[in-house]
Amino acid sequence: MKILITGAGGMVGRALVAHASAQGDEVFAHERATLDITQAQAVREVFARERPEAVVNCAAWTDVDGCELNPERALLINAEAVEILAAESRLAGASFVTISTDYVFDGRKEGFYTQRDDPAPESAYGIAKLQGERRAQRASARTVVVRTGWIFGVGGRNFLATVVERARRGEHLKAISDAYGTPTYAPHLAARLRELAARDLPGTFHVVNGGEGTSFLEFAREAARAAGVEDVEIESVSMDSLSRPAPRPRNSRLRCLLSEAIGFAPLPDWREALRDFAKVEGEG
């Protein structure tokens, strides 16, 4: 498959480039330096040159608090540019997969969010990502939206790497105990993104690792354990005690109504994924 990947320098982008290359795809990987997705003319030129059969957009402005302080920029990168990519994919005859977020939900529901739940984002990041979903779906009928959350993996500015590093140094750690999500391992997500690009079945999918989900506190404890850092003290804090510019959903656990119905195997439990990640980190 000829697959064009934007945001190839990010945590998910890197994992997808590695996975698609290993599958024997012809991969056109673009970091921001070679393709800024907000530049319509540059996008047009790249598509005309590379003629992809599938496009996976891993580029986004993922700084949730940054988006809150600059909502116009959030809309430019996370919505307008996604529409540009979808429209160019349609013209090129390519399927289009774009990644969205659990932050499109307000977090007030008990239990898991499925595709039957109405999005109601409360942050500028979530609002822009939801617009990105909708604008892409309008621009190309072959759009696949993949909502995911709490991603961990190599190369991310992620919560987990920080926890493990600090725990090893014996530093004092704090984690939120009253916000819940479904962790997702970047390589597992990457494999599913490619499967969806190849299947070319439009729709909205929720892609997360299996299991019941967790709190940041439990996630941090489990990460420390997986990394072999025992007896680590992690102070429990409430989400409200942190004054951050952007609101976050208190519960953003996702579950998919479609994946298994179309024959996709469930992704492994997040605890197992965490142990895989710890092994990779340990080797690195």
Count of other CB atoms within 10 angstroms of residue 137: 21
By CB under 6 A, the residues from 111 to 140 that bind ligand NAP are: 129
Here's the x/- map for ligand NAP, 203-232, by CB under 6 A: it reads as ------------------------------
Among 3, 4, 29, 37, which residue interacts with ligand NAP (rule: CB under 6 A)? 37
Is residue 185 annotated as part of the catalytic site, yes or no?
no
Of 103, 113, 125, 185, the active-site residue reads 125
Minimum CB distance to ligand NAP, residue 249 (Å)? 11
Name which position in 1, 18, 36, 203 contacts ligand NAP (CB under 6 A).
36
What is d(CA 190, CA 20) in angstroms, rounded to the nearest whole number? Answer: 8
Which lies closer to ligand NAP via its Cβ, residue 129 or residue 135?
Answer: 129
Per rule CB under 6 A, is residue 29 in the interface with ligand NAP? no
Site membership for ligand NAP, residue 10 (CB under 6 A): yes
Q: Does position 89 bind ligand NAP by CB under 6 A? A: no
- CB closest to ligand NAP, residue no: 10
Nearer to ligand NAP, 159 or 221 (CB): 159
Q: How far apart are CA 8 and CA 272, in angstroms?
A: 26
Tell me which of 5, 19, 62, 167 binds ligand NAP, using CB under 6 A: 62
Q: What is the contact surface with ligand NAP in residues (CB under 6 A)?
A: 6-7, 9-13, 32, 36-38, 58-62, 77, 99, 101-102, 129, 148-151, 156
| Residues with active-site annotation | 125
